[in-house]
Amino acid sequence: MRPRRARAKRSSLPAFLAPHRRRLTEQERRTLRAKIRSLEGRSSRARTRWIPIAGLVIVVLWLLTLVASDASRIIITAFWLAVGAAIALWVGRDMHEHASQFSDMAAALLSALTANAADVYDVRARAFVEFEEEEDEGACYAFEISGSRLVFVSGQEFYSGARFPSLDFSLVYVLDEAGRTVDILIDKRGARAKPAFIIPAARRRERPEHLEVRAGTIDTLR
């Protein structure tokens, strides 16, 4: 009877933490506008800043070759003009791709400002534990929330920093006009907290999925 009751309890839990949708706060909108300005600046620099740098490098190499080589100045100049043109085309194409990526990211955030919507996952925990990272897979935590439940937060976006991880925060998934997530913000309401303990990578059986919910407390993870 006990195993059947335990299975029923587990099956009654949601598989993943449920979000609620709301409008962006003014602070979140300011954060998005600042990111847009940064991305637009990076796009502009990626399109133009490489040109004088590449030109300077080619001129320096041309001068060094003139000093070190006995070849004709005309031949050396023709060589570096050809090589410089090839380098400029290659670097220019690569930098143009980077600039386009930055522009696309800025456009997605502009769309999010118009949509003015976010899916928000609230986490208010009694305690949490941290899983030791393995092979650059990102941070991973288990937060003990009400009802003897554990919710797991994992990913490259959630490394420890100012006021995170804490016992009271929200993950804000910013949506564009098509309803796609274009950015993730962390609403940090509590002070930064320390994990109750750290689970070594060697002891971890599996990596829980992000926002997965399981029955139990942090003591069941020891």
Q: What is the pLDDT of residues 120-135, one digit of tens each?
A: 999 999 999 999 998 8
Give the residue from 98, 115, 132 where a domain finishes.
115
pLDDT band at 12 (very low <50, low <70, confident <90, very high): low
Which amino acid would we find at residue 34? A
Q: Which residues of 112-145 are buried (b: 16+ CB within 10 A; e: fewer)?
A: bbebebbbebebebebbbbbeeeeeebbbbbbbb
Same domain as 125, residue 101: no
Same domain as 54, residue 131: no
Burial of 1 (0-12, 13-18, 19+ CB in 10 A): exposed
| pLDDT reading at 117 higher than 60 | yes
Same domain as 155, residue 66: no
Domain count, the chain: 2
Same domain as 181, residue 121: yes
pTM above 0.85, yes or no: no
Does residue 155 contact residue 138 with C-beta atoms inside 8 Å?
A: yes
Whether the link from the prior residue into 165 is cis, omega within 30° of 0, is yes
Q: What is the pLDDT of residues 167-217, one digit of tens each?
A: 999 999 999 999 999 999 999 998 999 999 999 988 877 889 999 999 999
19 within a domain of the structure (yes/no): yes
Residue 2 pLDDT: 34
Q: What is the pLDDT of residues 57-92, one digit of tens each?
A: 888 888 988 888 888 888 888 888 888 888 888 888
33 within a domain of the structure (yes/no): no
Burial of 109 (0-12, 13-18, 19+ CB in 10 A): buried
Identify the domain containing residue 100 by its residue range.
Answer: 38-115
Same domain as 57, residue 12: no
Same domain as 97, residue 68: yes
| Per-residue tokens: 167 | 């016992």
Same domain as 120, residue 101: no
Residue 135 pLDDT: 82
pLDDT band at 10 (very low <50, low <70, confident <90, very high): very low
Same domain as 106, residue 47: yes
32 within a domain of the structure (yes/no): no
